[in-house]
Structure 1
């Protein structure tokens, strides 16, 4: 089991490039199920969840080719025959996005068996909204032995109002509706850029979709989709993480190959904290100069375009270095403060009451042995370690590998003292 060793104290200087968005790539890979033709996706990040998705599609009978390096992070997927439309537990147990194959599988083949999803233990992401939507479209859903099974002759268009905003629910049912008979209208949809990215791919495949990126989406079902080529959006969460890395270390960091339009809430909040940013068309430069100038500013996580829950842990690390008291309110997931105790081990002054954490800064951080509990918590601990006195050891960094491509290598390239090592027993 790999660990990170981080020695703090270096400002980050130079240019760091953002990879494609994992949370766009996963539903786009699932969308390839909807056609017999080849789907080519570019700007695919080299992260563990993508490899899990590759194994999942291959286990169903798909041909999946993942290319990196000269292939520019490209994947070719051809689902000509889906001989085994089952998302097996042993493959998907570490990945929440497994539920994304439910809708396209039942729409394409009329049957789907999907293991209940795994992934980060940050709280409930109920699949009941997926189930209610598919049932409204005419599918019969049963659940037994940890699997959901959906069956239908052909899905029918329906009017579906989501009880709460759900990104994966919107994506899953959007894919299902493309092959349904008649029109489907979704209300209270997620508006995240990842939903818009998926809709762009589906449209390129021949789907008829209007309203993606708004609260209401109309889909006119078609009988068949065809292949397409699509480039995945830049990862807005990775970009935001690097912006905070530049700010917390008092660096001068150019975050390149990103989409600033997707980072409005993060940019606004960093500027309120006193971070100096130069925003370009596809890059953002952090010109902190002196992290001592950081000041507290409260955040409250919300659905897009609000402040993203996936940036909450990283912002909390920044708040430990800001003058004043910061209140962090988590409105999306009920169990997303597991990084707090690890930050406290490093000297942070944080108290938690329900969904609210109070951070009192500025607090000098010290090196410690800490445990990564989920993907974004891992990133927050690395950020804290970058400014801690001494050498911090982070255990269970496999969480981080699920969603950040070559994270330590990118940071090392701009001056961070960070390296990866196997555990004391020599296992990798």
Structure 2
């Protein structure tokens, strides 16, 4: 199993190109199921999760091809052979459940495994189900699969979600594009990935308004056509690499970055004493004067502080001056990186959904283990600022969400290498 070796090496300087958004691309790919005509995505990230979604769509009979070194994905669902998403693929990635709405809308039926095969309440598929049932779907849970049908087709409705779930918003919006009449989705999620999805669906002929706000209105149409769409910049990769010069010092330009994608995150960085400015090519981040200041963080739905940047922000706070409190309000059990950071000399106390971090002057390199995608990159960031060598094991998580991590960090002066496992 591969590992990554990081050696603390001082300030970072240069440019890092930011890829297309993983979470946007994984949402855009199932949109091909809504139309018989081809859908082409450009600026696609080259990640293992994209390969998993490709395999899922191909298992349904869709044609999916990766072009231009994987940065273009050409898809066609003109001749699907199945409306069943099997557990063997869905269990690998939660985003697989996003085929439910499109299949149901176009074919009037779908059978989709629950992510991880667990009960609805354990992973919030209940919000997806409630929204689709509001559109007239009949959904039954049998043997770990959601059996959905809408014999007379889906019908527009007014529906208010109990929680602003990103995935449920995406599933319901895609389904509503082909429903009869008008759908009004209230308490909708506002993430940039949803705005990107709506822009793509609109290119395909959908009639949607209100994206980026808490109320989205969809006027159903008879059919959607083909389109070409550029995937939005990955705001989580952007925020992650913005933290590299923040934790190490130096000045790095993030190519393709936009302030609007990470505004609440930028507020916290600036409060900590890190400079962020817009350039013609993206965003420039600099830290030149001593340690950063401790700041408190509460994760919230967009436009609040992203839960997917909480682990990386904790790595920065480990070396900050003062004590910070990080409160996780989106996901349970998302502080699994904390014990690994303490192996590097960090001072962290976790109580339920709150972590208290007292900054230390210097972290020390150590062997650590990645527990999930964002935790793995937080340990790499900590290693960049640590004295000596840090070996991060179980880095297969990284390949799900970050392309060419070693190459991108090496390009700005980091001392980092991937060690091949047996």
Give the TM interval when normalised to the shorter protein: over 0.9
Q: 1:133 aligns with which of 112, 124, 131?
A: 131
Deviation digits for residues 118-154 of structure 1 (CA, Å, limit 9, x no counterpart) = 49xxx95410000111111111111122211111121
What does the per-residue CA deviation read over 1:19-68, in whole Å, with 9 as the maximum and x for residues that have no partner? Answer: 00001001100111100000010000001110101111011000001123
The 5 A counterparts of 1:382-401 are 382-401=380-399
Q: What do you get for the CA RMSD once the two structures are aligned?
A: 1.4
- Find 1:360's aligned residue among 358, 361, 371: 358
Q: Structure 1: which 5+ residue stretches go unaligned?
A: none
The answer (yes or no) to whether the contact 1:124–1:334 under 8 Å persists in 2 is: no
The alignment partner of 2:115 has SS state of: coil
Tell me which moved more, 401-410 or 123-132: 123-132
Structure 2: gaps spanning 5 or more residues: none
Q: Cα offset for 1:299? A: 0.8
* Secondary structure, aligned partner of 1:386: helix
> TM-score with structure 2 length normalisation?
0.97
CA deviations 1:293-317 (Å, max 9, x no partner) are: 3111111111111111111000000
CA distance in 2, matches of 1:112, 1:408: 41
Tell me whether 1:48 sits opposite 2:55 in the alignment: no
Number of residue-to-residue matches in the alignment: 418
Greater mean deviation of Cα atoms: 278-287 or 297-306: 278-287
Once residues 337 and 159 of structure 2 are traced to their aligned partners in structure 1, the CA distance between those partners, rounded to angstroms, is 36
Choose 408-417 or 185-194, whichever is displaced more: 408-417
Please name the residue that 2:419 is paired with: 421
- Other-structure match for 1:248: 247
Corresponding residue SS for 2:401:
coil
Superposition pairs of residues 5-20 of structure 1, within 5 angstroms? 5-20=5-20
The SS at the match of 1:419 is strand
Query: Given that residues 90 and 97 in structure 2 are in contact (C-alpha distance below 8 angstroms), is that contact kept between their aligned partners in structure 1?
Result: no
Secondary structure at the aligned position of 2:417 is classed as strand
1:243-294 Cα offsets, whole Å, 9 max, x none, are 101110102111111222111011111000000222235511112124x331
Identify the residue that residue 278 of structure 1 maps to in structure 2: 277
Cα distance in 1 between the residues matched to 2:292 and 2:388: 22
Give the equivalent residue in structure 1 for 2:26: 26
SS at match of 2:233: coil
Deviates more, 1:104-113 or 1:191-200: 104-113
Q: Is the 1:260–1:281 Cα contact (8 Å) retained in structure 2? A: no
How far, CA to CA, are the matches of 1:2 and 1:138 in structure 2? 48
TM (norm. structure 1) is: 0.95
Match of 1:64 in 2: 64
Q: Does 1:115 align with 2:117?
A: no
1:408–1:322 distance in 2 versus 1, CA, 3 Å? same
Aligned pairs for 1:68-79 within 5 A: 68-69=68-69, 73-79=71-77
Please give the alpha-carbon distance, in whole angstroms, between the structure 2 residues aligned to 1:372 and 1:88.
28
SS of the counterpart of 1:293? Answer: coil
The C-alpha deviation readout for 1:211-235, integer Å capped at 9, x for no partner, is 0110001101011000001001000
Whether contact under 8 Å (1:260, 1:282) holds in the other structure is no
Equivalent-residue separation in structure 2 for 1:129 and 1:143 (angstroms): 14
Structure-2 separation of matches of 1:282 and 1:235:
15
* Whole-angstrom distance in 1 between the partners of 2:260 and 2:91: 34
Q: Return the offset for 1:204.
A: 0.4
- Secondary structure in 2 aligned to 1:97? helix
For residues 278 and 395 of structure 1, what CA distance do their matches in structure 2 show? Answer: 34
Residue 363 to residue 351, structure 1, CA distance change in 2 (3 Å): farther
Seen in structure 2, the aligned counterparts of structure 1 residues 148 and 258 have a Cα distance that, compared at 3 Å, is same
